Amino acid sequence: MTKNSFYIAILILLVSFQTKIIAQKKEVKKPNIIFILTDDQRWDAIGYVGNELAYTPEMDKLAKSGAFFNNTIATTPICAASRASIFSGLQERTHGYTFQTGPMKTEYMQQAYPKILKEAGYYTAFFGKFGVKYKNTAELYDEFDDYDLLYSKKDKSSYYYKTIDKDTVHLTRYTGYQALNFLDNVSSEQPFCLQLSFSAPHASDNTTEQYFWQEPSNHVLENTTVPEANISSDSDYEKLPQIVKDGFNRYRWHWRYDTPEKYQYNVKGYYRMIAGIDYEIEKIRKKLDEKQLADNTVIILMGDNGQILGERQIAGKWLMYENSIKVPLIIYDPRVGNPHEIDEMALNIDIPSTILDLAGIERPTSWHGQSLVPFINNKNASLKRDTILIEHLWEFENIPPSEGVRTNKWKYFRYVNDKSVEELYNLEEDPMEVNNLVMDKKYHKELLNLRAKCEELIVKYRDPYSGTPSGLTTKISNRKPTFNWVVPTEATSQTGYQILVASSKENIENNIGDVWNSKRINENTSTNILFKGRSFLLNRTYFWKVRVWDVDKRTGIYSEPQSFEIK
């Protein structure tokens, strides 16, 4: 080999080595992630699915360019619990957080996805409705601003109280403004994860108008008469369980939809508020282009739960019907040129696993959700997910808690405080859930299977920090029982209790206290609790059980029932 040949060979090796290093650097460059969460946007409130009422050109562009999930389920259809599930990757059954509880347990937030991202080198930021009580947000985010619509206000100031250059603006505009400022100033040397949590299109519940939108959205449905809601006849309403008819879902229907004028105004208001979010997405995408960030920024868009817009002559969410639990989900990854739709069930609790997977970070084994990243490249990927648990467990007098399971074909659910009230639907043949098949003998085997699967998942996702009362004893004096139990150590301390006394084993198993339902008593006593129900029959066996609220005011699990006899 000549001297020149030797130098040429060395040069080729160096160039080859440098090329390899550059390629490796390209491979390990982590994507930026923007996670947009809307409030109460139901699954079909987006133009992409063919809904002519929805004006969402930017959301539609994302859907047409990315992965659109046709069957995304919020495992718990209420904003507080759903957001807690999104942060923690856990079912509500496990984390136990909802309205009127104490702060989210630290044990669960120590594995919140933004904390893991931040510790792995991501720059994390949050703007908008956090929705979860938790003090140590500095552990989660480098930048954090938590605000929501003001429910205490009875006019448009519920949405209009933030300012930009001394102008009072709508919260939707303000969140978009913060996103643009963030993108103007974020470093290009560090990957970021930005969560934008819009309060819209949530209604201002304590106002006459309910919905407040920005002027640019006035054109949406301006010369349109909104069609009547599906399945909204008197007969559809009459099919509802009495506990639903007596609750807030019906009450709020009177707020929003009980006259044609209210219905037109409020449905249009709902869609106009969604259009306002869409305008902000347009600005954000333009800013990404301007800052040369677009090619490496993944955008995820999802609703926190659905919304019932007058169907069955009710309103709100909370229930297990599709319009309440089903939400839109788009994952747009500009690095993948393979737009498609996915029919497999995706869940709100899949989002944190998906975000970590995008960032190349392993998810905690304690999380219940799975990564959806495989679907970005391959619409035929599979999670081998057969049956999911759906639940709304907030113990609130005017909203009946419920629990159930869903498969691609079937849905079964029941009401926690009267488990004898059950509903069963064949989603393939009856997607609007009109025909409750619980009493149809042809489907009895399916009912038993789904009921058993529901029980199985309830046990699987039970909160390890809750515990169950034990050591139940009954003392009877002058034909009046007093009740005693041992508070579970996992609860730390008892902040409340509820006793059920039933006349049959079947009733007590169905959580029916037909002899006495103490309801929630906010006391820490667990001994010598005097019976205060209706009169007993002599020489008859009765059954009782108890559950407690823990130190964080989270609802616990009912004890095993005990029997006693009055002689």
The 10s digit of each residue's pLDDT in 120-158 is 999 999 999 999 999 999 999 999 999 999 999 999 999
pLDDT grade, residue 458 (50/70/90)?
very high
Q: Which residues make up the CATH 3.40.720.10 domain(s) of the chain? A: 31-241+256-383
**Residues with Cβ within 8 Å of residue 306, at least 6 apart in sequence:** 40, 41, 42, 43, 74, 77, 317, 322, 323, 324, 325, 326, 327
The 10s digit of each residue's pLDDT in 514-553 is 999 999 999 999 999 999 999 999 999 999 999 999 999 9
User: What integer pLDDT is reported at residue 18 of this predicted model?
Assistant: 53
Average pLDDT over residues 225-251: 98
List the one residue out of 365, 204, 217 whose CA is nearest residue 278: 217
Q: What is the three-class DSSP state of 124?
A: strand
Answer yes or no: is pLDDT of 435 > 60: yes
- Using a pLDDT cut of 70, give the percent of the chain over it: 95
Amino acid at 23: A
Answer yes or no: is pLDDT of 1 > 90: no
Q: Which residues make up the CATH 2.60.40.10 domain(s) of the chain? A: 470-566
Sign of the CA dihedral with 131 first, then 90, 86, and 92 last: negative
User: What integer pLDDT is reported at residue 355 of this predicted model?
Assistant: 98
User: What integer pLDDT is reported at residue 23 of this predicted model?
Assistant: 42
User: What integer pLDDT is reported at residue 418 of this predicted model?
Assistant: 98
Structural domain 470-566, CATH architecture: Sandwich (2.60)
Average pLDDT over residues 73-94: 98
The 10s digit of each residue's pLDDT in 397-430 is 999 999 999 999 999 999 999 999 999 999 999 9
Contact 36, 301 (CB under 8 A): yes
Q: How far apart are CA 138 and CA 145, in angstroms?
A: 11
User: What integer pLDDT is reported at residue 325 of this predicted model?
Assistant: 98
Answer yes or no: is pLDDT of 10 > 70: no
Q: Which of the pair, 555 or 14, is modelled with greater confidence?
A: 555
Average pLDDT over residues 7-26: 45
User: What integer pLDDT is reported at residue 2 of this predicted model?
Assistant: 53
Beta bridge partner(s), residue 128: 146, 197
Answer yes or no: is pLDDT of 4 > 70: no
CB atoms within 10 A of CB 216: 12
User: What integer pLDDT is reported at residue 6 of this predicted model?
Assistant: 44
Average pLDDT over residues 436-452: 98
Torsion of CA 219, 225, 230, 236, to 10 degrees: 130
Which fold is adopted by the domain 390-460?
Answer: Arylsulfatase, C-terminal domain (3.30.1120)
Average pLDDT over residues 48-62: 98
CATH number of 31-241+256-383: 3.40.720.10
Q: What is the three-class DSSP state of 206?
A: coil
pLDDT grade, residue 28 (50/70/90)?
low
pLDDT grade, residue 11 (50/70/90)?
very low
Beta bridge partner(s), residue 116: none
Q: How far apart are CA 315 and CA 250, in angstroms?
A: 6
The 10s digit of each residue's pLDDT in 243-255 is 999 999 999 999 9
User: What integer pLDDT is reported at residue 5 of this predicted model?
Assistant: 53
Chain-centroid distance of CA 405 in Å reads 15
Amino acid at 404: G
User: What integer pLDDT is reported at residue 337 of this predicted model?
Assistant: 87
Q: CB under 8 Å, gap of 24 or more: what pairs does 434-440 form?
A: 434/231, 434/236, 434/239, 436/239
pTM of the entire structure?
Answer: 0.94
The 10s digit of each residue's pLDDT in 369-394 is 999 999 999 989 999 999 999 999 99
